[in-house]
Amino acid sequence: MERLTPAELKDLITSVFSPSIRDKRLLIMVDVPDKTSPDNLKWQMRRSLAADWFHQLKLVKDELHFEQVDILYYQNVHNNNADLPEIGYFCQDDPAALNMTTLKQNGVAVNFAELLSKTQLVIAPTQFSATAPLKLLAKQHQFRAATMPGFSPEMIPALRLDYNQINQRVTTIKQLLDDATAMDIIFSVASGNQHQVHFDLRFRSGHASGGRFPDAGTAGNLPSGESYIVPYEGETGEKSESSGVLPVQFEDEIVLYQIEENIAQKVISSGRFSVQEAQKIQQEPAYGNIAEIGFGVLKDFGVNPTGEILLDEKLGLHIAFGRSDHFGGRVGVADFTSPENVVHIDRIYIPETQDQVIPEKVSLTFDQGQTKILMENNNYTIF
């Protein structure tokens, strides 16, 4: 298993967080399997990797001027971006063998929010993404967090990239998204058909996630390298103008979502996955909310997909359904039928994940009607 050395971890912490003398405590937080979400090999490896980072960082904590480095285990929340539990545990058991039964037996329980209020820097290599709750909690408690859902040893090379260069690219895209009032995407599919979606970007600003979190109250993914925006969701009383047909490939089936007012109102394709997605939209309307349009830039830095969303979404265009409040939107936990149903699901448009759907053209429209092409045939035209 590829590892980061203590020196590399020190450099990574310095690059990502730019620690100051006020930063005294770093917390690594890791979720643990239970009967509902059973363990798997990648999860075990991630917990072992997190424990290794914990021990390595303790070796260099004085060089980083930290007083304390901790690792906290907690019960997984069963879905990406669901709210965190109230209780976490300090535990010295073998992390690869941990489950909730042994954690409760052998761990020392602590209040999650209270611990976060005393922490300045957080790293979260988890099975289920904690990005949404940590974004909100970071603002409340003024810590900084690097979230790493689905992180695997194959992603370690992406932690060695020059994040200053990456930050320049994502900032360029963010500035374009800030100024744009609309986005149009034309997709071509293997059948020869084209589908188009118009996204309403009024009343919205873009966000840049360049893998650097020097400011208190911020949180985001690591590895990183994306800019993203939440389409307008109609909260001002004026209807969202987002509309069209959005194709998403599930195995060899293309599911077609009919988008109206920024919501997938129905599925107009047929097939096993089309039926499943139509049922999800009907049973959980918030699932159909278009929550994010993101643009990853790491492909041009030689990064290859790993099969994990955390990294793969940073390679190109991705569009998410579900929760958006952690990205500046309005759809949050209360909009779902229960906290257990909260999702933020990214659909990634790169050949390795959707080889039958190609973003043929992505164009932006600005206030005075000017347009700018951002991507053609799944490649950026602005760099």
Distance CA 95, CA 302 (A): 32
Query: Looking at the 3D structure of the chain, how many domains does it have?
Result: 2
User: pTM (2 decimals)?
Assistant: 0.81
Which domain-ending residue is among 112, 131, 158?
158
In the predicted model, what is the mean pLDDT of the chain? Answer: 97
| 331 within a domain of the structure (yes/no) | yes
Distance CA 69, CA 129 (A): 22
172 in the same domain as 98: no
pLDDT single digits (tens) 226-252 = 999 999 999 999 999 999 999 999 999
pLDDT single digits (tens) 286-336 = 999 999 999 999 999 999 999 989 899 999 999 999 999 999 999 999 999
| CA-CA-CA-CA torsion sign (315, 318, 323, 329) | positive
| 1 within a domain of the structure (yes/no) | no
198 in the same domain as 116: no
Alpha carbon of 78 to those of 81, 122, 217, 337, 339: distances in Å?
9, 21, 26, 16, 10
167 in the same domain as 101: no
Confidence (pLDDT) at 163: 84
Alpha carbon of 164 to those of 214, 248, 263, 354, 376: distances in Å?
13, 33, 36, 30, 25
Nearest to 81 by CA among 221, 268, 215, 183: 221
Q: Where are the strands (E) in the chain, listed by range?
A: 25-32, 68-75, 87-90, 108-111, 121-124, 144-147, 180-189, 194-200, 207-209, 219-221, 226-229, 243-250, 253-260, 263-267, 290-296, 317-322, 344-348, 357-366, 371-376, 379-380
List the domain range (segments joined by +) for residue 196. 161-380
Residue by residue, pLDDT tens for the chain (383 residues) are 788 999 999 999 999 999 999 999 999 999 999 999 999 999 999 999 999 999 999 999 999 999 999 999 999 999 999 999 999 999 999 999 999 999 999 999 999 999 999 999 999 999 999 999 999 999 999 999 999 999 999 999 999 998 889 999 999 999 999 999 999 999 999 999 999 999 999 999 999 999 899 999 999 999 999 999 999 999 999 999 999 999 999 999 999 999 999 999 999 999 999 999 999 999 999 999 999 999 999 999 999 999 989 899 999 999 999 999 999 999 999 999 999 899 999 999 999 999 999 999 999 999 999 999 999 999 999 99
240 in the same domain as 131: no
Which residues neighbour 10 within 8 Å (Cβ) at sequence distance 6 or greater? 57, 60, 63, 64
Going across the sheet that includes 263-267, the strands are 263-267, 253-260, 243-250, 194-200, 180-189, 357-366, 371-376, 379-380
224 in the same domain as 119: no
Distance CA 374, CA 383 (A): 9
